Amino acid sequence: MAEIQLKENERIDDLQLSGLKMIQNSKAFCFGMDAVLLSGFAKAKPGDSVLDLGTGTGIIPILLSAKTQAGKLIGLEIQPESAEMAGRSVALNALSERVQIVTGDIREARMLFGASVFDVVTCNPPYMIADHGIPNPADEKTIARHEVLCTLEDVVSQASAVLKPGGHFYLVHRPFRLAEIITKMCAHRLEPKRMRLVYPYADKEPVMVLLEGVRGGRPRMTVEKPLIIYREPGVYSEELRRDYGY
């Protein structure tokens, strides 16, 4: 591991996977279970080029570097402070030859990288629609959670633009927007192919949805069995512990 200088309020977290570590700022937005689940749901073939839209801490490309044999993984992040911290996490893990963090706007992904250049695109986007009640639209946590700087339309349209024909798009989102998500994916020729709902408990409503789409794919979607987070209060399910390291 490279020696990295930490800034105020920063810490190093052990990801419990292949010795990977992650720099996080306790005062800023930290990655959650949704990003970890997306990194387990997404697939990449040996040598694939992968783009993570709105990478934040860089957690998804860093995890995918261990979970897949993808060739090049790029994380695109609009907030310079987050991008800089993610870049230090890449250096901390000696991944600079495979993982790159780019500071830029999701809405300009095609302009930044070109059309039809990636095999895989992943995204853990802001879930909440922006409204006028947000106290501070420039706050880092607000930007991560609300559609202040990009919308679902931006994410889906740019993912489709930069994916190669037959390329795969992986998204984690909230079930209450599922109809909108599928409608937009189909409108941009990202045919939904696989879906998995994530439940906190077996008898509760789902809190997350994992989706895979294929650019230009034929209509047919597989709905996988539910993923249950907790077996009982405070105790993760066997599948979550076995497959995701919780």
Q: pLDDT (tens digit, 9 = 90+) per residue, 75-91?
A: 999 999 999 999 999 99
pTM, whole model, 2 decimals? 0.92
Determine the residue type at 226.
P
Give the CATH fold of the 10-244 domain.
Answer: Rossmann fold (3.40.50)
Give residue 31's pLDDT: 86
Provide the pLDDT for residue 220: 94
pLDDT at 223 over 50: yes
d(CA 48, CA 222): 23
pLDDT tens profile 162-214: 999 999 999 999 999 999 999 999 999 999 999 999 999 999 999 999 999 99
Amino acid at 48: D
With beta carbons less than 8 A apart as the criterion, state whether 73 and 122 touch: no
Backbone angles phi, psi at 21, to 5 degrees: -130, 160
In terms of C-beta density within 10 A (0-12 exposed, 13-18 middle, 19 or more buried), how is residue 158 classed? Answer: buried
Mean pLDDT throughout 232-244? 88
Average pLDDT over the chain reads 90
CA-angle at 161, arms to 160 and 167, nearest 5°: 50
Q: At what angle are helices 33-41 and 59-67 packed, to 10 degrees? A: 40
